[in-house]
Structure 1
C-alpha cells in the first residue's frame, strides 16, 4: 500500500478519539462494519423474540431460559468439533450460514404455512434465536481476539464496538420502518441478508489481519485442532478462564434480574403483544444511543488510562447503585434509567474490556473456551437469575428482597473484575517486546515474520 493520503487533521482526530494507528485503520473499519451487520440482523428481530416470549406469561419465559441453556450446551461440542476441523473462513461460513438458513426456514413457514405457526413455533423461535445470537457475536469476537494482540485489544475494541452499536440502533429503526410495509415474515429475509453481508466482511477481515497466534506457516488460518470438549475442560482447569466464566455468570444473573423486572413492569403498562414490542423497542433504541455516547467519548480512554480491572469493576458498582435506586423509588422511569444505564455500561465499557481478556490466550482457548463461556456459561447465568428471581417472587419478596441478593453479589463481582484486570496485565507482559511493532502491517505489505508469528495468510477460499 502506498503512502497514506489522509490529511493530518483526520489522522489527528483518529489518534485523539481512539488511538488508531496508520496500519490499523483498514482492519478497524472492516471489523466495525462486520459488527454493524451482525448487530443489525440480531436487533431487527429481538423485539419480536421478547414479545413472543411474554405471550404466555413470566413462567414460560423462565422455562424458555432453561431450554435455551440446554440447547446451548448441546451445540457447544458441535461448534468445538467444527473449530477443530475447519479453517477460519469455513468456520465463519458454517456459523453464519446456519443462522441465515434458519431465518429462511422461519420465513418460509410464516409465508407458506401461517396456520402452522402457533405457541410452539414461537417458543422454538425464541430458543433458536437466543442460542445463535450468542454464537454470532462470539465468533466475531473470537476472530478479533485471535488476530489482535493485548495492546491492540485495549485500544481498538472500543472503536470497533461502535460499529455494533450503530447496527443495534439501525436494526430496530429498520424494523419500525419496514414492518408495516413488507410484513414481519420479510424482516427475516432482511436480517438474513445482513448475516450474509457480515460473512463477506469476515472473509475480507481475514485477508487483512495476520494470524498472530499461529506457531508456524503451516498453521496460518488452519483448523484449531483438539477435541470438541476442550473448551469446557479448559474453563474448569484454568483459574484465569474460570475467573472470566465467574464474571460472565454474575453479569448475566444481574442482567436477568433487570430483564424480568422490566418484563413485569412492561406487562403492567402495555396490555398486548404489539404494544409491549413497541415499548421494548423504544427502550432498546435509547439504550443503544447511550452506549454510543459512552463508546465515542469514554471507553477507549478509560481502558487505556485505568486498565481493564477498573473498566470491569464499573458495571457491578453501577448495577448495585441502580437496584438500590429502583427499590427506593420503584417507578417505570427509574427502571428505564437502570436498564439503559446497565446495558450502556455493559456494551459500551464492559464488553470491549471483557473481550480484551481473551487476547492473551492461545488459539484453541480463543475459540473453544470462549465459546463455552460466551454461550453456555452466559445462558446458565440466565437460568440461575431467572430461577432466583422467580423464587423470590413466590416467597413474596419485592424489590427490597432482590436488592438484598444483588448488593452482596455486586461486591464479589467487583472484586473478580479487579482480579481479572491484574491477571490480564501479568499475561500480557511477555508479549510486550521492546521492538514490537505498535500497529498492524499494511494489507499490501510483503509477507514477514515477527517473533516467530506467521505473516497474514493469503490462503483464503
Structure 2
C-alpha cells in the first residue's frame, strides 16, 4: 500500500509521508542557491552593461557595444567552466553529496569576502572578474546541488518529488530577484555579497540535514572502476557521455537550449540597451527578472508537478520549446522593448521551473559516475561551449546586418534549432519512461 498523506498540494505534488524530510531539506537547499544566484545575476549583468554602455569596449582594434562585450564574456566563461569541470570531477572521486556541498560553499564564502574588497573601486578587472564569478557560482553550485539530489532518490521518486524540490528554486528566484529590485540602490556591492555569505552558511546547514535523509543506501551506489580512476579528470566525464546514446540526447537538449537561450538573452540585452540608458538599464533588468521569476513560480507550483506526475517527464520536456517558439515568433514580427524583454520570461520562466525539473530527472537512472562526472561535463563544459557557438552566431549576424533591426532575424535561427531540440527531448523522454517501467534495466 502506498504511504500517502492528504495535503493541499497533493494534486500537484505527489509526495509521500516518509519523503517529506528529504524533499523539504532539498527544497531549502535549492531555494538558498537560487536566491544567491538571482542576487548575483542582475548585479553582475547590470554592472557590466552599465560600465560599457557609455564608451563601449575595444579589443584588438575592434569596437564592441556593451551587449556584444557581454557575449565575449560568455566565451571566456567556457575557459572558466573547463577548469570547474576538472576540479569538480577530481573532488567527486573522493567526496559526494553533502560533503561536496560543504567544500564549494566554503570556496564561495571566501570569494564573497575577496570581491567585497575588489568592487569597492571599479575597474575593468573588477567588472570582468565579477561577471565571471557570477557565472561560476551558478555553474558549480547548481551542478553540485543536482548531483546530490540525483544521487539521493530513485527514478520513480524523482518523478514525484522534483516538482516540490524545483519549487524551492523558483521560489528562491522570486525572492532573490524581488529583494534586488526593491533594494538595488539601497545596498552597496560589499553589502550584497555579505548577504550572499549568510546564504552560503545556510546552504551548509540545509545540505547537512538533507544528507541525513538520503533514500538510496550507500551500498547501492556503484564504486569507481579501476579504469575510471586512471582516467584524466579533464576527460572522464566526456568519455562517459560519448559512450551513451541516452546521455548524448541529454547533451543535445542542454546544448541546443544553451545556444537558443544565449541568442534570446542577447536579443533581450541589446533591446534594453537600445531603448534605455544609464540606471534605467539595471532597473529594467531587475524588473524583468522579477516578472520572470513570478511566472516561474506559478508554473512550478501549478504545472510542473501535475505534468510530471500525471503525464511523465517526456511531455514536460516539450513545454519550454513551445514557449520559446511563441516568444521568438513574436519578436521576429515586432521587436519592441517589452516584446524583447519578455523573451527572458518565455525562456527562463519555463526553463527554471518545469524544464529544469524534467531535465534533471533524466539523470536519476544513470550510474553514480554519470551523475557526478558526466553531468559535470554536460552542465559545465557543454553549456559553455554551446554559449560560445551562440556568441559566434549572434555576433556574425549582427555585424553582417549592422543595425538594431537585424536582431529580429536571430529568431529564425532559434526556430530552426527548436526542431532538433524536440527530437532529442522525445527520445530522452521515451528512454526515461522505459526505465520507470523496468527499474532493473541497466543504464544505457
TM-score above 0.5: yes
CA distance in 2, matches of 1:49, 1:380: 21
Contact 2:98/2:148 (<8 A) preserved = no
**Counterparts of 1:431 and 1:194, CA distance in 2:** 37
- Normalised to the residue count of structure 1, the TM-score between the two structures is 0.85
Change (3 A) 1:405 1:179: closer
Residue number in structure 1 paired with 2:383: 378
Contact residue 65 and residue 382 of structure 1 kept, 8 A: yes
The corresponding residue for 1:235 is 241
How far residue 284 of structure 1 moved from its aligned partner, in angstroms, is: 0.6
Please say if 1:30 is aligned against 2:35: no
Distance 2:217 2:100 in 1: 18
Match of 2:133? Answer: 128
Alpha-carbon distance in 2 for matches of 1:180, 1:339 = 23
Whether contact under 8 Å (2:143, 2:376) holds in the other structure is yes
Query: What is the deviation of 1:68?
Result: 0.5
Map 1:160-171 → 2, pairs under 5 A: 160-171=165-176
C-alpha deviation, 1:203, in angstroms:
1.1
Looking at structure 2, the residues matched to 178 and 319 of structure 1 have their Cα atoms a distance apart, in angstroms, of 31
Match of 1:51 among 46, 55, 60: 46
For residues 7 and 180 of structure 2, the distance between their equivalents in structure 1, rounded to whole angstroms, comes to: 37
Q: Distance in 1 between matches of 2:96 and 2:277?
A: 49
Instruction: Tell me, yes or no, if the aligned pair for 2:12 and 2:303 is still in contact at 8 Å.
Output: no
SS at match of 1:395: helix
Match of 2:299 in 1: 294
Who is 1:419 aligned against?
Answer: 427
Could you tell me whether the CA contact under 8 Å between 2:180 and 2:286 is conserved in 1?
no
| Corresponding residue to 1:282 among 287, 303, 322 | 287
Which residue in 2 is equivalent to 1:429?
437
Q: Is the Cα–Cα contact under 8 Å of residues 37 and 137 in structure 2 kept in the other structure? A: no
Q: Which residues of structure 1 form unaligned runs of 5+?
A: 434-461
Question: Which residue number corresponds to residue 251 of structure 1?
Answer: 257
1:408 counterpart = 2:416: yes
Shift of 1:432: 6.9
Pairwise CA distance, 1:360: 0.3
Distance 1:406 1:181, change over 3 A: closer
SS in 2 for 1:431: coil
Q: Which residue of 1 aligns with 2:56?
A: none
Query: Partners of 2:407 and 2:178 in 1: how far apart?
Result: 33
Is contact 1:30-1:205 (8 Å) kept? Answer: yes
Tell me what 1:392 maps to. Answer: 397
Give yes or no for contact 1:317–1:414 (8 Å, CA) kept in 2.
no
Instruction: Note if contact 1:84-1:226 (Cα within 8 Å) is conserved in structure 2.
Output: no
Segments of 5+ residues of structure 2 without an aligned counterpart are 53-65
Task: Please state whether the residue corresponding to 1:17 is helix, strand or coil.
Answer: coil
1:21 equivalent in structure 2: 16
- Does structure 2 conserve the Cα–Cα contact (< 8 Å) formed by 1:131 and 1:375? no
Partners of 2:159 and 2:220 lie apart in 1 by 23
Structure 1 pair 31/409, CA: closer, same or farther in 2 (3 Å)? same
Between 262-271 and 53-62, report the one with greater CA deviation: 53-62
Residue 16 of structure 1 and its aligned partner are, at CA, apart by 2.0
What is the Cα deviation at residue 400 of structure 1? 4.8
**Residue 276 of structure 2 is aligned to residue 270 of structure 1:** yes
CA displacement, residues 288-316 of structure 1 (integer Å, 9 cap, x when unaligned): 11011111111111122222222112222
Following superposition, the deviation at residue 178 of structure 1 comes to 4.5
Name the SS for the 1:245 alignment partner: helix
1:149-164 equivalent positions in 2, closer than 5 A: 149-164=154-169
User: Residues 96-140 of structure 1: CA distance to partner in whole angstroms, max 9, x if unpaired?
Assistant: 211121111101333xxx34x301111011112212212101111
